[in-house]
Amino acid sequence: MRGTQGGGRGPGLSPVDRRTLLFCNFILAVAWGRVNFTGDQVLRVLAKNEKQLSLLRDLERQKPQKVDFWRGPARPSLPVDMRVPFSELPSVKAYLKSHGLAYSVMIKDIQVLLDEERDAMAKSRRLERSTNSFSYSSYHTLDEIYSWIDSFVAEHSNLVSKINIGKSFENRSILVLKFSTGGPNRTAIWIDTGIHSREWITHATGIWISQKIVNAYGKDHVLKKILNTMDIFIEIVTNPDGFAFTHSMNRLWRKNKSSQPGIVCIGVDLNRNWKTGFGGNGSTKNPCSETYRGPAPESEPEVAAIVDFITSHGNFKAMISIHSYSQMVMYPYGHSLEPVPNHEELFDLANDAVKALYKVHGIQYIFGSISTTLYSASGITVDWAYDSGIKYAFSFELRDTGQYGFLLPASQIVPTAEETWMALRTIMKHTLNHPY
């Protein structure tokens, strides 16, 4: 049933033809919720000739009112739709039968349909409300984020599109936002947040940065230059199953939710499941451990999806994987102390990124290679990225340094995102200016 929105014109406004008046009354009645349509049906009648049409018109003129036309009798061969109140159904159907008028039931119970539609509208209003007034300074659920993604893409479709790169272990969609001003297979920058589900500040930062990109594109000449040459891809919820779990059952869950037969513990550390350095000291084979590497490299669908996407794209030049906490900007390797060939360039770039970050709110980040700055970690995202030829591979650890840790207060979302953006922008600018 359509057209229940919008105020009708009230009764007493004439001259309007009766049909319109009835229709408007109907709308008003619905809007005011005063009438119950339980059991009422809409019948569709096909009149074969003028005689049958006039029989239908007769039905309408009877008192008490037996039918109310939604699509009135006009010409033979055009269907006539009429609402029949529940109490009148037997007599109306008998009338139609006795005059050889064939009919079908279009709507079996109007009230059911009305209820369903009301619910659907309320739901979409709720979702709409949460995107029109989507709070960038709050933490959100998976549904809220996915709903925001759809609205965000719709609002900025000239610049942003959504790509589904695969399904998680529990069959959730894995979504990536693409920021592009056109051009086939441009060089690209990858940013992921939320690979460890308890690091909520990272998803929130990814969302804020997405909004920042669309807002700043016209005003920031550096960003404009970047997007005129390169595409930016952002995967906000890199571990959707884990993220859902942090809301439903365990706020401090880190891994994904994959399980293996016969093994009690579930979950693989998605940042130990990558091919480069897989199985080294900085991961474990204990499925109950937080740094469990998984049964094999890329065994996890969440990792495989990214590997497939980036490999088949073939033109990524920078990859930044965002975590919390510790306040660090780091480059490969994590699995080895051996410096990468361009470690001096990466050192300088990390230094510049950290300085740009510091300028925003005075927050100190330290920097260096992962293995020398943080700890030994094997089978990690950025090591794979680097060995796949992506020279500018960085791993961030956002705020704080342990006071709140993973439970960073929402009031710190925007300041954290603002400073992180400046660090990312520094890296993206360097990538743009150093094509390879």
Partner 1 sequence: MQPRRPPLPALLLSLWLLPRLALAAAAAAPADPEYNDVPGQPPAVGLPRGILQLAARAALHFFNYRAGSPSALRVLAAVQEGRAWVDPQKGCKVDLVFSTEQYNLEQEGEEHLGKCSARVFFKNEKPRPAINVTCTQLFDKVTRQEKDYLLYKQMKQLKTPLDIVSIPDSHGHIDPSLRPLWDLAFLGSSYVMWEKTTQFLHYYLVQLSSVKQLKTDDDSIDFDFTVLLHEFSTQEIIPCRIHLVWYPGKPLKVNYHCQELQSPEEGSGIVEGSAMAPNEFSNF
Residue span binding partner 1 (CB under 8 A) among the ranges 51-59, 128-136, 358-366, 387-395 = 358-366
Among 291, 324, 378, 420, binds partner 1 (CB under 8 A): 291
- The Cα–Cα gap between 385 and 319 comes to 7
Three-state SS string over 135-154 comes to CCCCCCCHHHHHHHHHHHHH
Q: What are phi and psi of 396, to 5 degrees?
A: -105, 145
Among 147, 321, 373, 426, binds partner 1 (CB under 8 A): 373
Element housing 83 (H / E): strand 79-84
Residue closer to partner 1 by CB (options 138, 228) is 138
Q: Identify how many contiguous H helices and E strands the chain contains and give both numbers.
A: 13, 12
What SS3 state is found at 418?
A: helix
Residue span binding partner 1 (CB under 8 A) among the ranges 45-53, 82-90, 106-114, 365-373 = 365-373
Question: Pattern 247-266, binding to partner 1, x per CB under 8 A?
Answer: x---xx-x--------xxx-
Torsion angle of alpha carbons 178, 184, 187, 193, nearest 10°?
Answer: 10
Residue closer to partner 1 by CB (options 52, 378) is 378
Among 404, 414, 422, 434, binds partner 1 (CB under 8 A): 404
Residue closer to partner 1 by CB (options 321, 412) is 412
Looking only at the bridges linking them, the beta strands covering 41-46 and 68-71 are: unpaired
- Residue 302 near residue 270 (C-beta atoms within 8 A): yes
Q: Is 136 in the site for partner 1 (CB under 8 A)?
A: no
Among 406, 414, 418, 430, binds partner 1 (CB under 8 A): 406
Residue span binding partner 1 (CB under 8 A) among the ranges 5-13, 142-150, 399-407, 423-431 = 399-407
E-assigned strand segments in 275-340:
316-324, 328-331
Residue closer to partner 1 by CB (options 375, 436) is 375
- The Cα–Cα gap between 216 and 424 comes to 14
Site for partner 1 in 165-224 (CB under 8 A): 200
Looking only at the bridges linking them, the beta strands covering 230-235 and 328-331 are: unpaired
Residue closer to partner 1 by CB (options 311, 372) is 372
Q: Is 293 in the site for partner 1 (CB under 8 A)?
A: no
Q: Is 31 in the site for partner 1 (CB under 8 A)?
A: no
Q: Is 295 in the site for partner 1 (CB under 8 A)?
A: no
Query: What are the residues whose beta carbons fall under 8 Å from the beta carbon of 290, sequence distance 6 or more?
Result: 254, 255, 269
Q: Is 397 a catalytic residue?
A: yes
Q: Is 368 in the site for partner 1 (CB under 8 A)?
A: yes
Residue closer to partner 1 by CB (options 186, 247) is 247
- The Cα–Cα gap between 11 and 288 comes to 71
Query: Burial of 49 by CB count in 10 Å (0-12 exposed, 13-18 middle, 19+ buried)?
Result: exposed
Among 54, 286, 311, 315, binds partner 1 (CB under 8 A): 286
Residue 302, both tokens: 């969440």
- The Cα–Cα gap between 411 and 1 comes to 45
Closest CA relative to residue 242, chosen from 187, 196, 305, 310: 196
Q: Is 366 in the site for partner 1 (CB under 8 A)?
A: yes
Of 88, 235, 397, 419, the catalytic one is 397
How many residues line the site for partner 1 (CB under 8 A)? Answer: 45
Beta bridge partners of 418: none
Question: Pattern 69-108, binding to partner 1, x per CB under 8 A?
Answer: ----------------------------------------
The contact set with partner 1 (CB under 8 A) reads 138-139, 200, 246-247, 251-252, 254, 263-265, 269, 286-291, 337, 361-364, 366-368, 371-376, 399-410, 412
Catalytic residues, which ones? 397
